[in-house]
A and B are shown apart, each in its own frame.
Chain A
Amino acid sequence: SAVISQKPSRDICQRGTSLTIQCQVDSQVTMMFWYRQQPGQSLTLIATANQGSEATYESGFVIDKFPISRPNLTFSTLTVSNMSPEDSSIYLCSVEGRSDEKLFFGSGTQLSVL
């Protein structure tokens, strides 16, 4: 399994500001994934981040709102830009296992926007 460190663990932000979430993995991985988990809803994939190329965004998510960086094979950031209360959610970083189809998650970032 992979060990994934994510920070901050939680934050309370003002409307209109931006927050950058960091994700560090203890081993090199090709793909890193960013998910959103809203109360009472299933995990929703925001984007897939591949080192050295632009992230691939899912329907309903755009780069201007959720810019992602992937500078190397163990690190990624997700920025939530120009936040509104609707962005209040848990944001999760994840990676696949090395040899099979298992998804591992970081500890998550609980974001509240006032």
Chain B
Amino acid sequence: QKEVEQDPGPLSVPEGAIVSLNCTYSNSAFQYFMWYRQYSRKGPELLMYTYSSGNKEDGRFTAQVDKSSKYISLFIRDSQPSDSATYLCAMEGGTYKYIFGTGTRLKVLA
């Protein structure tokens, strides 16, 4: 079993839709959770960063962590074509140790 599972997609949604991206993990020791956005031929860009269970909001983006279920989500409200990218979840599992999901490819259709 992989430490982090993420549906690769692709996920296609119409412009303006609410997008839900998810990851599950197996190691209860993970403390920090991150979401990255990666455009084609670019490096991952840090979008959201959370430590505890609960929600964290930044503009159109909301990161949600449920440690009891080992489940994290990223919600994108009012999705735009410019949100089309691959979204990676990541977890910090020790000093200098980061575990990444495989990424979900999102396409927002105009």
Contacts and interface: CB of A to CB of B under 8 A. Distances in A.
Interface of A: 1, 4, 6, 9-10, 31, 33, 40-43, 45, 48, 92, 96, 100-108, 110
Interface in B28-47: 31-32, 34, 36, 41-46
A92 B103 contact: no
Contact of A42 (B41, B42, B96, B102): B102
Given A43-B88, A92-B43, A92-B44, A103 B102 contact: no
> How big is chain B's contact interface, by range?
20 to 34
Contacts of B31: 101
Nearest to A33: B96
B65 interface: no
Nearest to B34: A102
What 10 A-B pairs have minimum CB-CB distances, sorted nearest first? A105-B43, A42-B100, A108-B43, A43-B100, A101-B92, A107-B43, A101-B32, A42-B102, A105-B44, A106-B43
Interface of B: 4, 8, 31-32, 34, 36, 41-46, 49, 88, 90, 92, 96, 98-103
A86 to B, nearest CB: 19
A110 B90 CA distance: 21
A10 B41 CA distance: 9
Contacts of A4: 43
